[in-house]
Amino acid sequence: MEALNNYTPAQAREVGFDRNAYASPAIEGVFTGTLVMKIYGDFCLRCYFETDNGRKLKLTAWQNRRTGRYGPRGSGMDFKEIPLNTKWENRVGTSRKGQAVWITANETVRGGIA
């Protein structure tokens, strides 16, 4: 299968990606990780990151209904267009329901994992 930039759940399974190995961040804060996979959900794009110390984290980019973009809350970014294997500093907050909310993302190094 040709490498894609964004995958459906079926395509991710087909290439052997284990999305169950990734957890949402448990606390507010900042982490830096390499974007290794993006999988479409219902009105969202789940983004999977691996940190330099081996943590596997996932964040949800919800689709902005006005612009159609998928990105951190309040950003004009569209992670649908962001290539895999790029490194990002991600700020995570907490929603009123106690769930992780992706606040910001800043690219740190083009090329990600060496």
51 domain-assigned: yes
Question: How many other CB atoms are found less than 10 A from the CB of residue 112?
Answer: 19
114 domain-assigned: no
Residues 28-53 have pLDDT tens digits of 999 999 999 999 999 999 999 999 89
- Please tell me which residue, 39 or 5, carries the higher pLDDT value: 39
What is the residue range of 83's domain? Answer: 9-19+31-108
Task: Provide the 3-class DSSP secondary structure of residue 19.
Answer: helix
Alpha carbons 82 and 56: distance in angstroms, whole number: 19
- Please tell me which residue, 46 or 109, carries the higher pLDDT value: 46
Q: φ, ψ for residue 34 (rounded to 5)?
A: -90, 130
State the total domains in the chain: 1
**Which pLDDT does position 35 carry in this prediction?**
96
Burial call 76-89: b when 16+ CB within 10 Å, e when fewer: ebbbbebebebbbe
14 domain-assigned: yes
Residues 73 and 61 sit within 8 Å (Cβ to Cβ): no
The CATH number of residue 37's host domain is 2.40.50
- Determine if residue 112 is left, alpha or beta; phi over 0 gives left, psi from -120 to 50 gives alpha, anything else beta: left
CA angle 12, 72, 46 (to 5 degrees): 15
Asked if pLDDT for residue 114 goes beyond 70, the answer is no
β-bridge pairing 44-51 and 56-63: antiparallel
Residue type, 22: Y
Residues 56-93 have pLDDT tens digits of 999 999 998 888 999 998 788 899 999 999 999 999 99
Asked if pLDDT for residue 113 goes beyond 60, the answer is no
**Which pLDDT does position 83 carry in this prediction?**
94
**Which pLDDT does position 1 carry in this prediction?**
47
